Amino acid sequence: MDKIWNKYEDIQKELEAVVSFMEKNTKCKDKKIEGSIKELIHSGGKMLRPAFVIISSHFGNYDAEKTRSLASVIELLHMATLVHDDVVDDAKLRRGQETVQSKYGKDYAVYIGDFLFCVCFKILASSATLQSIKIDSNSMSRICLGEIDQLNSRFNSNLSVKSYLNRISGKTAELLSLSLYTGAAESGCSDGLCKQFWKIGHNIGMAFQIIDDILDYVGSNNVVGKAVGKDIKQGIFTVPFIYAANKNRRAFEPYFHKEVFSEEDVRKIIELVNNNGGITSSRELADKYTKKAFNLINRLPENRHKIILKEITEMLLKRTY
């Protein structure tokens, strides 16, 4: 369990129950499959999404068992998308550990992701309402479309900020919105409160992703565990690039029509993005979403879980960048 939860003993306990529930629901005759899913469950993710479900559940009529199921579904959906993302990205490592596709092969990873999707809907059918299932599958399809959009945009330098925001809204913000929304909705919060939680998740997700994308241009491998220039190398142009390239198209011209970038290209692009205000403008954009998130959190009913959500969001969005 990530150490960020040490401070919140009850959340930590509930997350441990989520882990047990996920293990129980992914048991299967084939021990290799069971083992590889167990590795995923214990791979050291922050468990942010299930924690969000738990936190927002406490704003309504909290039902421990139901919340545990829903939180598990969200984390399993997240795991399924990560496994498939790693297939697509050809990723060797995730959270410092070998990925499913690198360890067991791409083929295996495709089916493990599918199997996890099925487990999610099986749990949902036992513990959620039809309305929740509809919202969950809607969100999941938006996440897929966000990923496809990112694929289709590779090495397309004609991106607008708007299309970038649209893409990360699906790719990242959607599942965070869904987490906070689901907990609230299934514990009987008012429509207004549910929507407020949805927006909080959206703004946190947008800020989080923009910060993550900035780190591709300024981070150091040791600090954030993410290699600088990784996105650029894959032809994924994020908002720092978009801002800088729109400001100084002439400087970026040589890179607009390439379909492969050398190490030297990547180094040069990072320099150009930094020199043309790409980082500054992106930080301003992240700040805008961060502020919106905190404004919305501040307007939540007063209780201990509001304070937890605020502290976790601070920790999440105040990363060094």
Residues contributing to the site for a copy of itself (CB under 8 A): 28-30, 32-33, 81, 84, 87-88, 105-108, 110-115, 117-122, 124-126, 130-131, 133-134, 136-138, 140-141, 144-145, 147-149, 151-152
Between 136 and 216, name the residue whose CB sits nearer to a copy of itself: 136
Report the C-alpha gap between 195 and 163 in whole angstroms.
Answer: 24
Residue 12 CB: number of other CB atoms within 10 A? Answer: 18
At 171, list the tokens. Answer: 């790719």
Q: Smallest distance, Å, CB 186 to a copy of itself?
A: 14
Looking at the Cβ atoms of 150 and 203, the one nearer to a copy of itself is 150
CB of 99 to a copy of itself, least distance (A): 14
Query: Please, what is the minimum distance in Å from the beta carbon of residue 119 to a copy of itself?
Result: 6
- Compute the least distance from the CB of residue 33 to a copy of itself, in Å: 6
- Cα 71 to Cα 4, 6, 68, 292: the distances in Å are 18, 19, 5, 25
d(CA 137, CA 168) in angstroms, rounded, equals 18
The nearest distance, CB 237 to a copy of itself, in angstroms, is 17
Please, which residue, 22 or 112, has the CB nearer to a copy of itself? 112
> What is the distance between the terminal CA atoms of the chain, rounded to a whole angstrom?
25
Give whichever of 122 and 299 is closer to a copy of itself, judged by the CB atom: 122
Distances in whole angstroms, Cα of residue 281 to Cα of each of 173, 207, 210, 287 = 20, 13, 11, 10
Q: Which is nearer to a copy of itself, 131 or 275 (CB)?
A: 131
Contacts (Cβ under 8 Å, ≥6 apart) of 14: 54, 64, 67, 68, 71
Coil, helix or strand at residue 268: helix
29, two tokens: 């005759």
Number of residues that this document lists for the chain: 321
CB 110 within 8 A of CB 131: no
Nearer to a copy of itself, 132 or 313 (CB): 132
| In the complex, minimum distance from the CB of residue 4 to a copy of itself, in angstroms, rounded to a whole number | 29
Nearer to a copy of itself, 112 or 176 (CB): 112
- Least distance from C-beta 233 to a copy of itself, angstroms? 15
Q: What is the number of other CB atoms lying within 10 angstroms of the CB of residue 258?
A: 12
Task: Single out the residue of 15, 127, 57, 21 nearest to residue 305, CA to CA.
Answer: 57
